[in-house]
Amino acid sequence: MLNKDSLDTLSRTALDSVKRAALIQHSHFPVNAGEVECTSWRSNGFSDSAIYRLATEAGVFAIRSWPNRFDTPSKVEFWSSTNNSFAGETNSLSHVGASNPMPFPKIVEWYSMDTSFGLLLPYANKLWTLCEWVEGKPVEAKGVSKSTVQHLATILGRLHSNSIQVLQASGSPVPKQMMRSNSLRERLELLKTMDYRLLAACDPTEFFANNLLLEKVKHCLAIVLERQPSWLRFLTICESQNRECHWIVRDLWFENILVDERQYFSSIVDLGAARLDWPGLDFVRLFGSLSYRDGDRTVFSGDDSDEELWNDAYGAYTQSHTDHAIESLEECKMLHKVSLGLSLFQWVLWNKAGSIDLTNSDKVQRVSKRIAAICDQVLTAVQ
């Protein structure tokens, strides 16, 4: 976290940028407007990105940190370019019932005095973006309605289809291409490293001295290891295929999608993992995360099952995506099962490596809850 002095400096720069943006748009902006308070877009995130809320009389804005990595500028450019494509009336998401006309919070260019820093501001060893604040709350997976699933699938299809058109129009050399998926390759390599020795090495202290959680983890890992040979065959076939790839979100958990009071789409709020890859991964991540939560099977508000959740999502997605990049729903459902097992395995590796800050009781509680939920999902999905 930034200290108060550095945060004040950043907020003054942000406020100056908001003023400049308001003036460019010929809107009135009081000189003395603005204050900063620490807040968060979501309650269950694990990336620990710093997000601050800038309240002004010209509107409410978000100041967000990004990792200072080589690929951050391309991700931010993807965010901004895709948003711009939805800004026109004919492409607006409001035509399909969304609260906002764009898929992501709108970026504001950084200014300090008469100097423009573009979309990213280097500050305190991080890169920062300034964007409009988007109201909403994370999707509630438990008891998700049919209409919400169909609505989100339609939005995702529009986003995937439109992102190709955006990058083509921008002159990008690779708006989409036939290639083997990097994410599927990473899953295959991780699955190859799974070993029964991991079970024997599990220690209660790595699971926060929670013996019940430890036993549940070991039980689920044994199930995953039992299925390792068949999963390896499945992933080997999947990874060997050239697929139509373009920019996707990737970390599309339900917690990263905001909805309004109608449970209709408001915004996607995390693009830190975005990259060129197979769009089916977004579909699997989103609707897999909506299928289960906290040990309770998620069903529609009526008597329909998870099977209908997948079927409805797939139908709405393929109708809204012009290129039909996802050819097999059965492959997606199987990939969801494999991804659950690998997710549990990855959390165990992170714990063993000491990647979880055990001094932060809130994070320990959230991580424990996430691991327990994945265990319950594994037990249900592999039946």
Tokens at 264, concatenated: 């209709």
* Prediction pTM value: 0.87
More confident position, 201 or 195: 195
More confident position, 72 or 48: 72
Distance CA 82, CA 100 (A): 14
Average pLDDT, the chain: 81
Residue 351 has pLDDT above 70, yes or no: yes
Predicted local distance difference test score (pLDDT) of residue 4: 61
Find the range with the poorest average confidence among 241-255, 345-359, 368-382.
Answer: 345-359
Q: Can you tell me the mean pLDDT for 358-365?
A: 72
Confidence grade of residue 125 (pLDDT, cut at 50, 70, 90): confident
Long-range contacts, stretch 196-199, CB < 8 angstroms, 24+ apart: 196/225, 198/345, 198/348, 199/225
Confidence grade of residue 258 (pLDDT, cut at 50, 70, 90): very high
Predicted local distance difference test score (pLDDT) of residue 153: 94
Top-ranked range on mean pLDDT: pick from 133-142, 237-246, 341-350: 237-246
Confidence grade of residue 77 (pLDDT, cut at 50, 70, 90): confident
Top-ranked range on mean pLDDT: pick from 5-14, 296-305, 319-328, 335-344: 335-344
| Domain 146-381 part of CATH 3.90.1200 | yes
Predicted local distance difference test score (pLDDT) of residue 326: 86
Predicted local distance difference test score (pLDDT) of residue 152: 94
Helices (H), 50-124: 72-87
Distance CA 371, CA 376 (A): 9
Confidence grade of residue 95 (pLDDT, cut at 50, 70, 90): confident
Predicted local distance difference test score (pLDDT) of residue 302: 53
pLDDT tens-place string over residues 206-255: 666 677 888 888 899 999 999 999 999 999 999 999 998 888 999 898 88
Contact yes or no for 160/248 (Cβ under 8 A): yes
What are the structural domain ranges in the chain?
4-137, 146-381
Predicted local distance difference test score (pLDDT) of residue 24: 63
Predicted local distance difference test score (pLDDT) of residue 185: 97
Predicted local distance difference test score (pLDDT) of residue 31: 45
- Beta strand 107-108 with 126-132 is antiparallel
pLDDT tens-place string over residues 289-313: 887 655 555 555 555 577 888 999 9
Predicted local distance difference test score (pLDDT) of residue 43: 42
Distance CA 33, CA 128 (A): 21
The Cβ of residue 145 has, within 10 Å, a number of other Cβ atoms equal to: 14
More confident position, 40 or 375: 375
More confident position, 69 or 323: 69
More confident position, 95 or 209: 95
Confidence grade of residue 59 (pLDDT, cut at 50, 70, 90): confident
Residues 6 or more apart whose Cβ sits within 8 Å of residue 122: 68, 128
Q: Can you tell me the mean pLDDT for 345-358?
A: 76
Cα–Cα distances in angstroms (integers) from residue 41 to residues 79, 118, 133, 269, 381, in the given order: 17, 23, 9, 7, 30
HSE-CB of 373 using CA atoms within 13 angstroms:
19
User: What is the chain's Cα-based Rg?
Assistant: 22
Find the range with the poorest average confidence among 83-92, 98-107, 261-270.
Answer: 83-92
Distance CA 295, CA 292 (A): 7
Predicted local distance difference test score (pLDDT) of residue 101: 87
Contact yes or no for 93/101 (Cβ under 8 A): yes
Residue 72 has pLDDT above 50, yes or no: yes
pLDDT tens-place string over residues 141-199: 777 888 889 999 999 998 988 877 766 666 666 667 889 999 999 999 999 988 877 77
